[in-house]
Amino acid sequence: MPQQIRHGTSLSELSRVGACAASLILAAVALGWLVARANLALQLGVASLAVAYYVARQLPVVAVTIVLLLTGGYNIFATTPGFVADATRFAGGIQIQDVFLLAMLAAGTTRILTSSGSHRMGRLLAPMVACGAWLTFETVRNVALVGLSAPGELRVRYLVLGLAFGVVTCVDGEALVRSALRIFAVVTVALPLILLPVVLYLKGFSFSPTDRIFPASVSLGLILGLAVLWVFREFVRWPLWLLYPATVLGAMEILLDAHRSVWLAAIVLVGLLLLVQPRFERTVRWSVVGLAVGVTTILIAQGLGYDVLNTVSERGGAALALQDTVAWRLDVWAASLRDFAASPFVGRGLGFYFDMSAPGLGHIAVYPHNLYVAMLVHLGVIGVVLFVWLWTAAWRTCAIVVRFARRLPASAGIGSLCAYLGLGVLGAIAAYSIAYGLEPYSVTLLGICLAGAMGVQRGALTPHAGSRL
């Protein structure tokens, strides 16, 4: 038996080496053909995509790290003077992260096309394929009218979904899930907190609810990263002397930056985690720890001269009274929905971007700051229903694993915790999308959580390897 195991392992390693070699040979052949036939920009693009695909397929955690650093990590400096939003652009408007997003999408697609690949996705496969097909239709239908603007808007608004798809399909096994969670915590918590003094210095140590330290997506990533650190304490293993200060400092940033969308996402995330927690005593303990962190955060902020309670009441009161940017958003939503009314079932498709006129707003060209409104305009009722189907399938995937862990506590492990956190992340995405669109932090974490939850369903991430759901 030991000989058979060693033999099987060597065959697996040989097949992996062979696949890598074949990928490099194909990439070299394709690059050689392009050198002889095409222009330099196309050569560079295809060569970059080939390399990115190789990384995404063989080293998915590395690909995820690159995307998070280029999209989320770089945006840590978005509020500082002199920030260049498209610094990662290298050819024809394409950015480096776009290449890796396409590579993750391609890697996931080739993975599920294998003999056992379709079974890996379970109930997620059908809605994923349906949503992908509908996005393709809504893009292709407008190419004749708007040209490259159609795939351009697809890239800007929805390509990030390919990241979650690639993570779910390629992050396979407990070791990769652990690595992905650790990297996520470093990029979302350690990196912004380490760079916080640098950002404050570049901003002249000025910040307020109208002059933020970090953009909303970075603050959202911070709360998601802290959730990872607390839920996966025994796997991520940050020492308590580092975990508690990071939590307090992160809570201060989230409160003082006053992104109401992040507050709402945090409330939904924490609320779901407390409600779904399978052990009541742990729920009580987490509640006490959360209360202690909140009180400490407020006391420190007050001691530094920042009236947190007044900031929270003013920002929250303005939202309830539909004032300041909330009122502006309502006007933009109403103006955007006029395009939806013109084609309610299939939408207008992608490529037209948003260009509207409305009473009190004048002529503006701005994203409506609401994923649901944008999807109604882009994809119509049919597209929204398909994405609700996908969201529901993801929720059921996680919920079934959580119920399984409640019945068999001995089976609880990293996969069960992934399913547990996945429910909270789904709620956070739904809440954050009221004010913004899709962003890489929550999409990546959802992909990691689904990868872990589906590992439990396949019996790969529990002590009971034969127990499948």
Rounded average pLDDT over 376-389: 96
pTM for the whole structure? 0.85
Tokens coding 139: 């893009």
| Measured distance CA(236)–CA(327) in Å, rounded | 42
Q: For residue 410, is pLDDT > 60?
A: no
Q: What is the 3-state secondary structure (H, E, C) of the chain?
A: CHHHHHHHHHHHHHHHHHHHHHHHHHHHHHHHHHHHHCCHHHHHHHHHHHHHHHHHHHCHHHHHHHHHHHHHHHHHHCCCCCCCCCCCEEECCEEHHHHHHHHHHHHHHHHHCCCCHHHHHHHHHHHHHHHHHHHHHHHHCCHHHHCCHHHHHHHHHCCCHHHHHHHHHHCCCHHHHHHHHHHHHHHHHHHHHHHHHHHHHHCCCCCECCECCCCHHHHHHHHHHHHHHHHCHHHHCCCHHHHHHHHHHHHHHHHHHCCHHHHHHHHHHHHHHHHHCCCHHHHHHHHHHHHHHHHHHHHHHHHCCCCHHHHHHHHHHHHHCCCHHHHHHHHHHHHHHHHHHHCCCCCCCCCCCCCEEECCCEEECCCCCCHHHHHHHHHHHHHHHHHHHHHHHHHHHHHHHHHHHHHCHHHCCHHHHHHHHHHHHHHHHHHHCCCCCCCHHHHHHHHHHHHHHHHHHCCCCCCCCCCCC
Lowest-pLDDT range of 380-384, 400-404, 422-426: 400-404
pLDDT class for 286, splitting at 50, 70, 90? low
Give whichever of 6-15, 78-87, 163-172, 407-416 has the largest mean pLDDT: 163-172
Give the mean pLDDT of the chain.
81
| pLDDT at residue 117, rounded to an integer | 60
Task: Considering only residues 318 and 74, tell me which one the structure prediction assigns the higher pLDDT.
Answer: 74
Nearest to 462 by CA among 124, 123, 174: 174
Q: For residue 390, is pLDDT > 90?
A: yes
pLDDT class for 39, splitting at 50, 70, 90? low
| pLDDT at residue 283, rounded to an integer | 61
Q: For residue 288, is pLDDT > 60?
A: yes
| Measured distance CA(423)–CA(430) in Å, rounded | 11
Q: For residue 22, is pLDDT > 60?
A: no
| Measured distance CA(160)–CA(97) in Å, rounded | 10
Rounded average pLDDT over 179-186: 95
- Say if CB 229 and CB 246 are below 8 A apart: yes
Tokens coding 30: 């394709």
pLDDT class for 377, splitting at 50, 70, 90? very high
Task: Considering only residues 421 and 209, tell me which one the structure prediction assigns the higher pLDDT.
Answer: 421
All residues at 6 or more sequence positions from 405 whose CB lies less than 8 Å from its CB, including other chains: 278, 411, 412, 416, 419, 420, 456
Rounded average pLDDT over 55-72: 91
pLDDT class for 12, splitting at 50, 70, 90? very low
pLDDT class for 468, splitting at 50, 70, 90? very low
Tokens coding 463: 């002590």
Q: For residue 188, is pLDDT > 60?
A: yes
| Measured distance CA(182)–CA(229) in Å, rounded | 9
Rounded average pLDDT over 208-215: 82
| pLDDT at residue 173, rounded to an integer | 84
Rounded average pLDDT over 295-306: 68
Give just the sign of the alpha carbon dihedral 149, 153, 156, 158: negative
| pLDDT at residue 467, rounded to an integer | 37
Q: Is 81 left (phi over 0), alpha (psi -120 to 50) or beta?
A: beta
